[in-house]
Amino acid sequence: MPKFNAVLSPAFRRVLGGVLAALGLVFFTLSVIIWFRAEINFKVLGENIKLVDPAAMWLGVGFWIGALFVWPAPPRSASALAAALARIAGRLGVDLRTTAGRYTTAGVVAGSAAGFLFVVEYYYLVPQLGLRLLVVPAAAVLSGLAHRGFALGHQALAERINPSRPWMNAAGRLTLYLIGWGLLIAYPLRRWEARGTDPILLPGVAAVAVGLTMAWLLLPPWRLEGIAGKARRAGVAAAVAIALLASIFSFVRERGRSNPDYPVRQRVLLVTMDTTRADYLSSYGYPRKTSPNLDRLASEGVLFKRFFCNVGTTDPSHASIMTGTYPRTHGLNNNHQSIVGNVPSMPEVFYDRGFTTGAVVAREHVLPVNLNVPGFADQSGVTSWLTKTDAHETYRRAANYILKNRDRDLFVWVHFFDPHGPYEPHPGISDQFIDKNRGKRGGRRVLKPGQTYSEKEIKYRRDLYAGEIFYMDYYLGKLFDLVENLEPKAEFPALILVTADHGEFMGEYLDHPAKIGFGHGPVFNPGVHIPLIIKYPGFIPAGKVVNEVAESVDIAPTLLDYALGYASYPGQGFSLRPLIEGTATGDRFAFIRGEGGAYSRWSPLYAVIKNNYKLMISVDADGELFDLDSDWEEKKDLRAERPQVADELTVDYRLWENRTPQTVVKERELTPAEKKTLRALGYID
C-alpha cells in the first residue's frame, strides 16, 4: 500500500479516501434499511441489483478500511475524513476526555433507547411497574459504561501501536465501533422479528427521545451558562414532568389491571396451528413425543379423534373457523382472497357481548382485516416482506396482548405458523428430531414426471416437520400457563380450544396415482385430518375422547355455546357440546372441499365423511369409497363392493349441496407482491 500511495498525489488520495468513506456510510445506512425491509432492489445501468444483509454492512466496512489505507498522512487531512464520516472521526481521540465523553453520551442514548424498546416490546417479561421504571436507567448506565470502556481501551491500545498518527487512530476507532453495530444488525438483531410485527416508527422516535433525555439527565452538561444552561434546566423540568405523568398513568393502569372495577368473567383462547396434521401429535398416537403440552391439555379436556377441516388451504379454512360456514358459502376459496358472502362472524358475537377481541397471527394474509372477518378490536400481524414469524415471536405478541388486557373479558385468537414449510431446525429445542445425515432437496406438493425422493430425504423432512411441531408446542405450553394463571382470576376458568387449519402430506402418497409429495390441498387424510382439543374445567370432563366425526365449521357454535350459552348462532356447523356430553343423536358428517376448484379423479373436488365411510367426489369419475376404520391410508376402493353405501353418500352430498348457499366469486389476478409471498412459502413456482 505505501508504494501504491507514492504514485498518487495527496489531493487525489484525499478525494479517493473521501469517496470510499462516503460509500462506506451509504452502505452502512443501507444495512440499517435492509434490517427493516429484509432486502433492497434497485437498478444500476439497467441491471437489477439486490442487497440482502449482511452484504451491505460488509461492503460499508470494506470501503471504510479502503479509505484509511489511501488517505494522506498529514494530521490536518483528518478534518476532511471527519466530514466524510459525519464530521466525527477526526475529533474523537485527539482529546481523550472529549472522546470518552462523547462515546459515553452515545452509549447512554443507545442504552436508554434499547431499554425503552425492551419494556414496550417485551411487556410480558416486565409487567410490574417498578421493574419497568428501573430498566431504562439501568440500560443507560450499563451501555454508557461499556461505550466509555471501549473508547478508553481503544485509545490506550492505539497509542501503543500507532502513536504518531492520532487522526488514523480516531478514524479506526469509529470504524471498529460501526463494525460492531454492523455485526449486531446483521446477526443477533436480525432475529428481532418485532421490527416486522409491531409499529416501529413512533416507538423508535420515542426511544430516541428517551435516550437523549436520559443522556441530558445523567451526564454533565458541556456548558452550564447561557442559553445551553437554560435549555438544560428547561429540559430537565420537562423530562421530570413527563416522567411523573407517565408513572402516574402507568400506576393507575396497572392498579386497574390488578383490581378491576368490574370482575373479569371469562377468558377465551382460540389457537390455530398452521399445517398441523393430527397424527403427528403424540396425543394422537405419534410414536415420538412431539406435543407434551398439547398432550397435557388433552388429558385435562376433550380430544376429538376424527376431526376434519373443510378445505386444505389456510385462508379458506380460517374463514370457516371464524364464521362457522363452508367455503361454498363464505366465498373465500384460495389464499390472498377475502370473504365475500353474507355470513356471520363468531368474533363479532363476542365483541357485541362486551369482550375485548384480539387476533395475533403469524402470517400477513390471515389478518382478520384481510380475510374480511369483522369483530376484532385489535389485530397484530406481520409485514408482507417478513412473510411469517416463528413461535417465539407469536408468543411474545400474544403474551403482551393478554397481559395488557387482563382486566377485561377477553377473546383472543392466536395463530402459529411454524409447521408450515419450508421446515427449519430449532437448535437447543428440537435437536432430538434432526438427523445430521440429512437430505437436501426441498419438497414439492406434486412431483413432476420422473421426480422421486430417496428414503433419506423423506425421513429428514419428516423429522424436520416433527421438530417444528415440538418447537411450536414448547411455546404453546407457555401460552397455556399464562392464560390459566392470569391475575386477577376470572369468575369462570379459561376456555381453551386448539385446532389446525389443515394437515400436511409427508410423502405417503408418492406411490398413489396422484403422486403427492409434500404439502397440502388435496382431500386425502394427511391433508385434512386435524386435531381438536378443548379444555374447560368444570364444564368439560378431563381426559375424554370423542370418536365421532366433526368439522371446522363446528368450532364457532361450540365456543359460543360454552362461553356465552349462545345456542342460536346462524352458521352451518353445530355445537359439539352434545357430542362431548354424550347426548348427540344421528349421523355425523364432514364435507371437505378440494383446493382450488375442480380436479381430476386423483385430486377430487370434494370428500364426504359419514361416520366411518369416506367418499371422494370427482368431476371425471365415479369417485372412490373408503372405510376409515380398516383403511385409514385410503388404499382400497370399496365402491364396487359396497355400491349402496357409495350411493347413500352421494345422495347426502347432493342434499348438502342443495341446502348450502353458494357464493360465486370472480377470480382476480394476484399482485407481484402476493406472488412473491406465495412463492416463498412454496405454493407456486
By the 10 Å C-beta count (0-12 exposed, 13-18 middle, 19+ buried), 469 is classed as buried
**For residues 484-491, average pLDDT:** 93
The beta-strand segments (E) located in 381-479 are 410-416
615 in helix, strand or coil? strand
- Residue 570, amino acid: P
Q: Residue 145 — pLDDT band, cuts 50, 70, 90? A: very high
- pLDDT at position 683 is 56
Backbone angles phi, psi at 356, to 5 degrees: -80, 125
- φ, ψ for residue 522 (rounded to 5)? -65, 165
Per-residue pLDDT, 63: 73
pLDDT band at 560 (very low <50, low <70, confident <90, very high): very high
Bridge partner residues of 446 (DSSP): 516
Kindly state the DSSP code that residue 592 receives in the 8-state scheme: E
498-523 CB burial, b ≥16 within 10 A, e <16: bbbbbbbbbbbbbeeebbbbbbbbbb
CA angle at 508 for the pair 503 and 513, rounded to the nearest 5°: 110
Is the Cα torsion angle 21, 26, 27, 32 positive or negative in sign?
A: positive
pLDDT in tens, 613-639: 999 988 666 789 999 999 999 989 999
pTM: 0.83
The DSSP bridge pattern shows strands 410-416 and 356-360 to be parallel
Residues 568, 574, 577, 581: is their CA dihedral positive or negative?
Answer: positive
pLDDT at 376: 98
Buried b (16+ CB within 10 A) or exposed e, 420-439: bbebebbeebbeebeeeeeb
**Comparing 413 with 251, which gets the higher pLDDT?**
413
DSSP labels, 491-546: SSPPEEEEEES---EESTTTTSTT-B-EE--SSSHHHHB--EEEE-TTTS-TTEEE
Cα(417)–Cα(162) distance, rounded to whole angstroms?
54
What pLDDT does 594 receive?
86
Residue that is written with C-alpha cell 377477553 in the block: 410
pLDDT for 569 beyond 60: yes
Residue 76 CB partners (closer than 8 Å, separation 6+): none
Task: Give residue 446's pLDDT.
Answer: 52
Query: What would the grid cell of residue 357 be?
Result: 377481541
Q: pLDDT class for 58, splitting at 50, 70, 90? A: low
342 CB-contact burial (10 Å; exposed 0-12 / middle 13-18 / buried 19+): exposed
pLDDT at 194: 79
Give the residue from 93, 551, 137, 538 showing the smallest Cα distance to 321. Answer: 551
- What 8-state DSSP symbol labels residue 636? S
Identify the residue with better confidence: 227 or 372: 372
Instruction: Decide: 657 and 591 in contact? Cβ < 8 Å.
Output: no
| DSSP label of 125 | G
Whether the per-residue pLDDT at 166 is higher than 70: the answer is no
Convert the pLDDT of each residue in 61-70 to its tens digit: 677 667 766 6
- The secondary structure of 362-409, three-state, reads CEHHHCHHHHCCCCCCEEECCCCCCCECCHHHHHHHHHHHHHHCCCCC
Query: In which band, very low, low, confident or very high, does the pLDDT at 79 lie, cut at 50, 70 and 90?
Result: very low
Average pLDDT, the chain: 81
- Summarize the confidence of residues 117-131 as an average pLDDT: 86
pLDDT at 348 over 80: yes
Report helix, strand or coil for 657.
helix
For residues 347-369, give the mean pLDDT: 96
Alpha helices in 86-225 (DSSP H): 96-121, 129-161, 166-186, 201-218
Q: By C-alpha distance, which of 128, 20, 110 is closest to 65?
A: 20
Helix (H, G, I), strand (E, B) or coil at 593: strand
> Partners of 495 in the beta sheet?
268
* 518 and 461 Cβ atoms separated by less than 8 Å: yes
Please state the domain extents for the chain. Answer: 2-220, 267-588
Paired residues of 308 in beta bridges: 529, 551
Encode pLDDT of 288-315 as tens digits.
999 999 999 999 999 999 999 999 999 9
First vs last C-alpha separation in the chain: 49
DSSP assignment of 186-249, as one string? HTTGGG-GGGGTS--HHHHHHHHHHHHHHHHHHS--S--SHHHHHHHHHHHHHHHHHHHHHHHH
Q: What is the CATH number of domain 267-588?
A: 3.40.720.10
Interatomic CA distance for residues 52 and 477, integer angstroms: 35
Which of residues 411 and 255 earns the better pLDDT score?
A: 411
Output phi, psi for 206, to 5 deg.
Answer: -65, -40
pLDDT digits over 170-226, tens only? 667 777 787 777 777 767 777 777 777 887 777 777 777 777 777 767 776 544 455
Banded pLDDT at 500 (limits 50, 70, 90): very high
Neighbours of 210 (CB within 10 A): 22
254-291 confidence digits (pLDDT tens) = 555 555 666 889 999 999 999 999 999 999 999 999 99
- Residue (of 551, 567, 592, 447) closest to 507 by Cα position: 447
Q: How confident is the model at residue 77 (pLDDT cuts 50, 70, 90)?
A: very low
